Amino acid sequence: MNPSNTEPGPLKAVFRSQDWLGGFSKGDLFAWALATFLWISTSGGVFDDDSWTDLWLSSVSGLVIICAVLYPSFVLHNWSNNKPLLTGESLRGATIPEFLHFSIKKEAGLVRWSRKKSLIILPISIILWLIGIEISIMAETMIAFGSGIDFSYEVAIALSQILFLVLFLILIWDSMGVDHASSLFKIDTAWMVVAWLVLIVMSIDLVIESSMFALIEISGIEIEEESYWVDRDSVNNGVIYTLAVVNLVILAPILEEVIFRGYVLDTCRGFFQEREAVIISSCLFGLIHYFYGPIGIILISIGGGLYAWIRLRTNSLIPAIICHSIWNGISVLVFGIP
């Protein structure tokens, strides 16, 4: 009998990759569904209690579930598809240190502009973006014509983010070429690998950030939190609240990833070592969130570093956008929009 024609056993058949499932198998989907159910069950009322301590407990329970449920299914998947048992396709020919660490090389041909031009336009463009978001002539005009303050600002923020998204994509296109700009939104990595990388990055990010804020919460240190709304009644307005969620969970992650993991990171990669570029882009990302205070800046910079890592490992902005959107979404689910 020809071994190649041998039918796989029932377990292998369940965990055999399916192209129409993006590389997942039926067994993988069952494991992910089970893990999600267990995580929600063990998290208790975390989504009903705005507590960083509860979010930390939820994050830790999520890590335990990953180890106890998802990783064994990952190993079974690799065994069923004749891939490296413990790592699958994640390493893509690299060693574990190469996969985990940032490179010390420069991407000398990445940026077409001169170093001077690039490093002048980069900070100017970010400053103009910040000014444009903070000072909204459009919102003031809408308010002058009788629109509500929060509604006007949410509409203006949405339109501003779309406008700046286009402008930064043009900057990437002009400085690095249209092929590079379009490649940022393509994924050559299998979706199952992407899902695992997103899961790992989000787990680390959640544990680090929730741990820090949980310690602050336990210690009794008060962190002043300004209200997102000008009019507190806006939180009960479905249209305004939906606009805010769209801005925070969809538009902001897309725009900020294009700016910091697209334009800033790749511009810096053209003139600095990869790890230096990651540090610069991540610190800038943290600093523009200055309104969260020193601790917030540090934690958001760490998150920026994690998003940069997954961006570089997948050669795509999409996984970083997914991570950023999930984080913002979890924040809205747990804490609402205060």
pLDDT digits (tens, 9 = 90+) for 270-310: 999 999 999 999 999 999 998 888 888 999 999 999 999 99
Q: How far apart are CA 24 and CA 94, in angstroms?
A: 22
For the four alpha carbons of 116, 122, 123 and 125, in that order, the dihedral sign comes to: positive
pLDDT 10s digits, 253-275: 999 999 999 999 999 999 999 99
List the domain boundaries for the chain. 110-190+199-335
Pick the residue with more confidence: 192 or 174? Answer: 174
Mean predicted confidence (pLDDT) in 22-47: 82
Residue 61 has a pLDDT of 83
Which range has the worst mean pLDDT, 1-5, 31-35, 119-123, 219-223? 1-5
**CA geometry: angle at 34 spanning 30 and 36, to 5°?**
120
CA neighbor of 301 nearest in space, from 278, 275, 269: 278
Confidence of residue 221 (pLDDT cuts 50, 70, 90): confident
Alpha carbon distance, N-terminus to C-terminus of the chain: 68
Residue 136 has a pLDDT of 76
pLDDT 10s digits, 121-155: 999 999 999 888 776 788 888 888 888 999 999 99
CB 264 within 8 A of CB 281: yes
Residue 210 has a pLDDT of 85
With a CB cutoff of 8 Å and minimum separation 6, the contacts of 127 are: none
Mean predicted confidence (pLDDT) in 210-226: 78
Pick the residue with more confidence: 204 or 104? Answer: 204
Residue 1 has a pLDDT of 43
Q: How far apart are CA 49 and CA 210, in angstroms?
A: 14
pLDDT 10s digits, 234-246: 888 899 999 999 9
Q: Model's pTM, two decimal places?
A: 0.91
Q: How far apart are CA 38 and CA 197, in angstroms?
A: 20
Average pLDDT, the chain: 88
Residue 212 has a pLDDT of 86
CB 166 within 8 A of CB 291: no
**H helices of the chain, where?**
10-14, 26-43, 52-65, 71-80, 96-100, 115-134, 137-144, 149-176, 178-183, 191-219, 238-245, 252-257, 265-269, 274-287, 293-314, 318-335
Which range has the worst mean pLDDT, 137-141, 163-167, 201-205? 137-141
Mean predicted confidence (pLDDT) in 21-44: 86
With a CB cutoff of 8 Å and minimum separation 6, the contacts of 22 are: 190, 191, 192
